[in-house]
Structure 1
Amino acid sequence: MVHGLTETLLTVVCLLVCGQATAQNANTGLRKVYEWVHGGLLYQYAQDSSFTLLVFNVPFRAVKADFEVHVQDTSNDGIKRTLLLSLRHGSIPVLQPYNESVPASFVMPEDQESHHLDTNNSHNIISEAPAPGRLYMAASILNPLNNVVEYLRWGDDMGGSFQINVRAIYTVRTAVKSLPAGDVSTSNVVTGEAQTFGFMVPAFTTAYSIVVSNCGTNGSSCPVTMTTSESLSVSDQSAVSVDCRQQAERCVLTRVSPKVEGESFVTFSLDDVKGIENVTFDVSFSMLGCSAVAIPYAERLMTDNGVEKNQPPQYKYLTGYDVNEAGYGVTDSPSCVNLGPLGRYSKSSDSVFNAFFGMWTTEGDVVPEIALVVPDFSVEVRTFTIQDSVDTGGILSILARVADDDWKGVIWVCAMAQRVGHNGSLSECQDGALLTLNTTATTNTSAEHDGVNEIVEVMDEALLPFPVAGTWYLTMQSQCLGSGRPEPCGVLPMIELTVTMQQCGPRGCGDYGTCQQYLQGTELYASCECHSGYRGLGCNDGTYGLSKGKQMTAVYLLTLSNLAFIPAIVLALYRRFYTLAAVFFFNSFFSAFYHACDTSKVYQLCIMNYGTLAFCDFFGSLLSFYSLFLTMARISDTLRTFLLMSGALIISVFVTEDRHNEAFQLTPLFVSGIVLVVSWVRETRLRGKLYPSKGRYLRLLLPGVVLAVTGIGVNYGLMWHQSTYQFTHSFWHFALMVTPLFLMPPRGWHSEVKRGLSVSAQDIIRTGMQPEPRQQQQQPLPCRQSVNIDHDEPAMFDASMNSISSDDRNRLI
């Protein structure tokens, strides 16, 4: 009991520390390894960068991996969605769930598997033949294509929130015999019990052969099936089998371009033959790799950059060079020539995915120009290393160009991860990127343009997104053509190679995207962030893209519609509401430039940081109507100034905290509206009649309120469909900026309130301008008299006040 509890506690501690636990079964020779990965929030797929990345560590000699996927809908909206899971060994998967078009020269990975699951249930995914090392899982929520398009065009919210957790269960084989290279081993296989051997394949191996001999049976054939694979899984797609009954005496299985720098396996099984229960045989294993060559021969196949610049052109192109002069003819040439690794140089220490691989100079420096002579009788090999978590998030660019314009033939350049191209099969380049330089593909190597002959370069390019970590092998071979048929080369061609790591490729993301860097856990990668409805690795898929005309129209509507504030600004200045005019100008200015920066990525003008512009736009909009309501209110200037300043401070806090929060937006408007209503009710009670006048309600206030409500309804009622946003929001600008023309109080509103006086114009004219008849007794004016004043006639009010003498004003006060 104590021992079991201790074992459980140790397992829990292991899970907390390393995320893995192991369960051993000695009877079957298999063990279980558990690993938990908490992925957190799931991203909803819109483009190549919108996925959640999970990284697993597959143990050595794993037979299979069982992933238990648990998805939780944290939004609880009940909508069923599709979960996309993509698995890839050694690097980040490349997602293309909606068949986005692939840019030219891009080579998509073929070593990843994808699964489509629903989000309402837990799922088990079984991955057969997982390679040891880092296994990447990209998870993303798929939405209907229309929703994705609206998001790419206008930033429409796709809704929903999900989290993912995954437990991986690895089945690992513990008992595997080793098969030494070059030695002869004796093995015995029994019916129903297969024998599996593991053997290491070293670097630069182009092929290996396994030979079965001395098969101890009475029959004339050996009833053994021999299968080689790169994993221990029975369903490994890389497996190659041979039936030894179809071969006499010696049974040979040869594998070309195997996976190097790792372990491969061979399995022997006994066929169901009557009377034969076991068979004994000898097994031998041999490899074919890049042979060491003489130094003079290697020097003739590569040019040092420092020497090349000082030598005449005939040396560079090896004019008149006979391959037999080097001592290696076609028959005795090596299978491949290893010219050594390329050097690596980072262009900038401040930028990732910005490095090139080049030739070493005699001074120990690395230069990006790679000039190589490509033989036709053997394969030439160069290597470079893609670093895990450093290069795997970028794009590997390989550019090849024929240096000799007069040479005729075909050159193949094959780039493969942990595989070496084999002599004679290089043109296939399975599981790699193939560059073909065919100088005979066109009838002319020069073209006439404006009367001038221009040389047409023969070149090819391969772009590999998220390359697999490890050693990459560049294998090259040429073939000369004479009279349209292959023939031995009398003059070997030279090519110029450029191998670089880039963020988003040499052409970037075009006009409709920007290259962004993303960090998930310890994995850093770069991808194009597309806009305006464009999609794809290079934002090149314009199937649902917005035209430049539509984008320009949206920009003009959303920016120029802010000019509707000019009449309100002029009226505020005329009526001497200078603070209100300043707020209106602030709102109009920053709203125009905010939309100029936010509406289109193609036609974009950002005079300040985007966050600053967004803050000023929301702050100015709220402050404009808050100030307008306070201006309309019948309160003293002291109280108005206090409310205006304190409200501006509170609004700035609200906008900084969450500018889209409806409660934050409505609170200042609600407070200023309460002040306005209370002041008007108080004034109505003092007057004993409706305030403002009924005519002002009908002619000005009611139309202004209707216009404002209409603008709000159009903007927030139709804004959910982002395709009409530029029209609805522009109308919102017009409606809200014209509304102050109806609601703004007349001139002299504040000065009359400051005196604490409320009299009619007729009373002032009668008192100050016309003397009463002598027979009438003059009635003294009380210190405070509440009489009506008609603010719908501001000009008459101003003239009347100017006509009152100072003595009369004192009497009135």
Structure 2
Amino acid sequence: MLKNEERVLIFALVVASTTYDTIANLAGSTYEVKEPHALREFHDYGDVYFSQFSMPTGTNYAVWTFILLSNPLQSKCQPSNISATVYLQHEGYPIFTPFNESFPQSFDTDSSYFTKVSLDTSGIQGRRVDLFIRSPAAGRWFVAAYADPQFLNKKIRPQGFSAVSCKHFLRVSTTYSTDTSYPQEPVPLSIPRNIIVDDSTKILSYFIERNVYQYNISVVNCKVLSPPDAKCQFSLISKEDMLPSMVNEHHIDCEWDNNTECQLSVSSPAVNHWHYAAITIPDANTSVSLEITILIKAEGCGSGIQTFTWCSVDQYYTDSLATDMLAVNFVQEVPLFTTTEVIIRDDKPYIASFTIESLVHGGGTLKYLLEAADSLPKNGATIYNCISRDRMVIKMEDIKNCSQTANTTMKYTENADMAYHIPYPQSGVWYISVIAECYNPSTNTLIDCTDTMKVYTNITLRRCVNSQCGEYGSCYLYAQGVLYWSVCRCKAGYRGYGCTDDTEAISKSLQKLEMLLLILSNLLFGVAGAVAIYRKWFSEALLYFFVLFASSFYHACDNGTIYAVCVGDYSMLQYFDFYGSILAVWVTAMAISEIPPKLRSFLHMAGVLGILIGTQITLTGLWNFVIPLIIAIAILATSWARLCRRTKACYPKFKIWLTQLLPGILSALIGLALYSFVETNSNYFYVHSIWHLLMATAIIFLLPRTEKLTFSQIKSWFSKLNIKRRRNTIADERAATPTQTVMIVAGTSDETVTNSDEIIPISDDNNEDIRDSQAIII
């Protein structure tokens, strides 16, 4: 249990956090909190806790507070120090690799989009971390958290055998505020706007729509209002999604006169986003007032928006790919391929766009495939491809040196395919820019492309990696509230997003060995069943054979190798294995006890029902073994004591102790010790196989050696079975024969029978009534 000091510290953290949040809320900030959620050790993305927060447009700052808590209400738990890792990312699930796992080929592994926070319970300071972000981007922010892995060589204990480790919870909250000290003015595009700027900074907001590849902020005029001798000097800064600062990359200093041009150009801006421009007077100590005329013009391609200066088809052409069914394809696995035949040229790029929504599409894997057509050009050609989110790239140099999400090239002469995967894609408008460059193969010099080059573009959104996880994993779909994401659960030591990292992998030969050990070690239960039949314990033999098949089928499904085969539902196989094993212990103990057969039959049924109830409550609980074992030992000791008192001799005899009981008990104790104290994740296959062998050996030794089943007894049983069968046949024939008179004739056995069809043998049970008579059919 937690110490009182730790509980006080945790309580103080919660109170302090709540007080801080209340004060922030009273000050005009907005506060959002999530319920504490239990953390699990990371094995794969199925163990990750995901949460989301919404950030409004124009937020000045945000403070995320992460608090790691131990459950003070959980009794009888073992306190433990853990560390946890939290990731924060805008508009998408964070992609991370706790073990430095490798990704499959052609995967985007850029991890620069998220912020990482570490927490631990070793001290009061590590339990809480406040993350301050200035001018956070508007939209959804995703939190991913897990407890750092500690499972390597971890002991496997039955449930209830030792104190359970205390659960740890993560409490996430955020406080954000819109900066009201800087007035914001929405500015329409392509319309001049007069802005009055004085000592304070003026913030302009404007919306950049889809298919805009560049916009310009131009100063049309600047007029000094006061003082008259001041110069028209100011700084112009722009930023998308967040309030700009002096360190932003889009920045220009202007000193205006009639002969000076002041213009800030932004190429490949974030589309479908609000942008902000700040106009700041450098010397804030001087009372200067300016009237500045600003004109914002966007350049793009599309239709229906009057504010654009449209590009012509001769410059480039666009194609909007259908994405309506991407969500259905991801969640419901309906096959969908968006295939378009495209002609690639060198004088203008081909540009396609599609939309990704994080809550709908963000939990899958986006795959972009560019396939070359069969026809090849006479000259050499290279196809350059750029995949970017929210940014439209149209220039040859920018496509070739793409610094966005993906930059791939393909030699067209090789007739190759170019594939690219993006796991957990972020929300936004995605653009694909493709352009060709031709060259003379002999001189390796650039030439104009004269041949027609056709390619096919495919955009798909699937679970995991093409709806599978290769040979060493299985694909699952997880849901948590409105969040959905796909996960690869790996086998045989493989790791990574697609189960392709073989750093800790187990060889196939070793996998076969481990699986065979778990399955074949159960064959000794078959030997125990044969011995039970030989010693005339038939009910017990039936149960031992059941344990043989139940445990073999369960471990064939649960061995964690690529050769695993499940003949039924996993939970059903697991239940059969545990239930049969516990029941085998019970019936073996009843066989050792010196009790009447009818009482033994009653106790068998009582054990069946009692163990059935216990395993339904908790299948892997320790008490399922302990309670039947204690009761069995009590019955066993009572029966032996009663027999000793009646015979006035010690029972069992020393020879039985030496040859049966002690070897059996010793095998069982060694097996239980290995199962409870030695078994770990790394040695499970070997130790658990030894456990199978020892428990079956214990049964063979402990099962009492009654009168042996001989061959003559088996022959006698079959003989009696044939006689009974013959009697049943004769009875059937009698039933089919018409009714006849039967006369009972008294006399000796050698009297002559006339008009007789058959003499019916008289059973021994009727000899008392018709001793010297025969039944004659007349």
Q: Tell whether the structures are fold-level matches, with TM greater than 0.5.
A: yes
Q: Counterpart in 2 of 1:765?
A: none
Q: Give deviations 1:368-392, integer Å, cap 9, x for gaps.
A: x311112333333222222442211
Q: 2:45 aligns with which of 38, 44, 48?
A: 48
1:170 corresponds to which of 176, 183, 194:
176
The DSSP-based 3-state class of the residue aligned with 1:529 is: strand
Aligned to 2:318: 338
Aligned-pair CA distance for 1:267? 0.8
Structure 2 distance, partners of 1:546, 1:197, is 60
Distance 1:63-1:40 versus aligned 2 partners, 3 A rule: same
2:386 is the counterpart of 1:414 = yes
Counting only pairs closer than 5 Å after superposition, residues 567-646 of structure 1 correspond to structure 2 as 567-646=527-606
Q: Equivalent of 1:250, from 253, 257, 261?
A: 261
- What residue number does 1:437 align with? 410
Q: Hey, what's the Cα distance between the residues in 2 that align with 1:374 and 1:692?
A: 92
Partner of 2:399: 426
Q: 1:608 to 1:77 in 2, by over 3 A?
A: same
The alpha-carbon deviation at position 118 of structure 1 amounts to: 2.4
> How do 1:8-47 residues align onto structure 2 when only pairs under 5 Å count?
31-47=28-44
SS in 1 for 2:45: coil
For residues 708 and 257 of structure 1, do their structure 2 counterparts lie closer, same or farther at Cα, with a shift above 3 Å needed? same
For residue 89 of structure 1, what is the amino acid of its counterpart? Answer: H
Q: In structure 2, the residue corresponding to 1:722 is in which secondary structure?
A: coil
What's the secondary structure of 1:713's corresponding residue? Answer: helix
Out of 726, 729, 740, the residue aligned to residue 685 of structure 2 is 726
Choose which of 339, 358, 376 in structure 2 pairs with 1:405. Answer: 376
Deviations 1:154-209 (A, max 9, x none): xxx99552112222111113531122211222334335x22211111111100001
Alignment equivalent of 2:119, drawn from 105, 117, 120: 117
Is contact 1:371-1:495 (8 Å) kept? Answer: yes
2:764 corresponds to which residue? none
Q: Distance in 2 between matches of 1:430 and 1:142?
A: 33
Instruction: State whether structure 2 residue 353 is matched by structure 1 residue 383.
Output: yes
Give the equivalent residue in structure 1 for 2:144. Answer: 138
Shift, 1:92, TM fit: 1.4
Q: CA RMSD in A?
A: 3.3
CA contact (8 A) 1:353 1:390 kept: no
Structure 1: runs of 5 or more not aligned: 1-18, 26-30, 152-156, 294-327, 359-368, 440-444, 446-455, 751-813
**Once the 2 structures are TM-superposed, how far is the Cα of residue 236 of structure 1 from its aligned partner?**
9.2
The CA distance in 2 between the partners of 1:355 and 1:235, in whole Å, is 46
SS at match of 1:203: coil
The amino acid across from 1:183 in the alignment is: I
How far is 1:229 from its partner?
Answer: 0.4
Q: What one-letter code is carried by the residue in structure 1 that aligns with 2:197?
A: V
1:352–1:39 distance in 2 versus 1, CA, 3 Å: farther
Q: 2:695 aligns with which of 736, 744, 761?
A: 736
The answer to whether the aligner puts 1:516 opposite 2:476 as a matched pair is yes
Distance (Å, rounded) in 2 between the aligned partners of 1:147 and 1:186: 70
2:485 corresponds to: 525
Map of 1:332-371 to 2, 5 A cutoff? 334-342=314-322, 344-345=324-325, 351-352=331-332, 354=334, 356=336, 358=338, 369-371=339-341
**Greater mean deviation of Cα atoms: 676-685 or 382-391:** 382-391
Summarize the Cα distance change of 1:634–1:377 in structure 2 as closer, same or farther, 3 Å threshold.
Answer: same
Change (3 A) 1:539 1:236: farther
Separation in 1, partners of 2:268, 2:255: 26
> Map of 1:82-97 to 2, 5 A cutoff?
82-97=83-98
**TM-score, structure 1 normalization:** 0.75
CA distance in 2, matches of 1:472, 1:236: 29
TM-score, structure 2 as length reference: 0.78
Which residue type is aligned with residue 535 of structure 1? Answer: R
| Displacement after TM superposition at 1:622 (Å) | 1.3
Alignment of 1:130-529 (within 5 A): 130-144=136-150, 146=152, 161-174=167-180, 175-191=183-199, 193-216=200-223, 223-234=233-244, 239-245=249-255, 249-272=260-283, 277-290=288-301, 334-342=314-322, 344-345=324-325, 351-352=331-332, 354=334, 356=336, 358=338, 369-403=339-373, 404-406=375-377, 408-424=380-396, 425-439=398-412, 445=413, 456-482=414-440, 483-506=443-466, 508-529=468-489
Structure 1 pair 83–274 and aligned structure 2 pair: CA distance change class (3 A): closer
The answer as to whether partners of 2:270 and 2:391 remain within 8 angstroms in 1 is yes
Distance verdict in 2 for CA 1:106–1:548, change over 3 Å: same
- Asked whether the 8 Å contact 2:190–2:296 carries over to 1, the reply is yes
Q: 1:159, 1:105 → 2: CA distance?
A: 41
The residue number in structure 2 matching 1:691 is 651
Q: Is the 8 A contact 2:389 2:429 kept in 1?
A: yes
Cα drift, residue 704 of structure 1: 1.9
Q: How many residues align?
A: 659
Q: What displacement does 1:553 show?
A: 1.4
Which residue number in structure 2 is paired with residue 296 of structure 1? none
Identity percentage of aligned residues = 25
Gapped regions of structure 2 (runs ≥ 5): 1-20, 158-162, 305-309, 710-778
Cα 1:104–1:256 shift into 2, 3 Å: same
SS in 2 for 1:92: coil
Cα displacement (A) at 1:228 = 0.7
Q: Amino acid of the residue matched to residue 747 of structure 1? A: T
C-alpha distance in structure 2 between counterparts of 1:392 and 1:492, whole Å: 36
What residue identity is the alignment partner of 2:516?
Y
Relative to structure 1, the CA distance from residue 463 to residue 149 in structure 2 (aligned partners, 3 Å threshold; closer, same or farther) is: farther
SS at match of 2:665: helix
Q: CA deviation at 1:740?
A: 2.5
Q: Output one character per residue of 1:370-428: Cα deviation in whole Å (capped at 9) or x when no partner.
A: 11112333333222222442211111100002224225322233232322113232223
Could you say what secondary structure the match of 1:96 adopts? Answer: coil
| Paired residue secondary structure (2:501) | coil
1:571-614 superposed Cα distances (whole Å, 9 cap, x missing partner): 21122111111111111221122111111331112222221211
C-alpha deviation, 1:250, in angstroms: 0.8
**How much has 1:625 moved relative to structure 2?**
1.8
Work out whether residues 156 and 676 of structure 2, in 8 Å CA contact, stay in contact via their aligned partners in 1: no
Segment of structure 1 superposing worse, 78-87 or 520-529: 78-87
Structure 1 residues 167, 291: closer, same or farther in 2, change over 3 A?
A: closer
Q: SS in structure 2 opposite 1:38? A: coil
Structure 1 CA distance, aligned partners of 2:84 and 2:660? Answer: 56
Residue 239 of structure 1 deviates from its aligned partner by 4.1
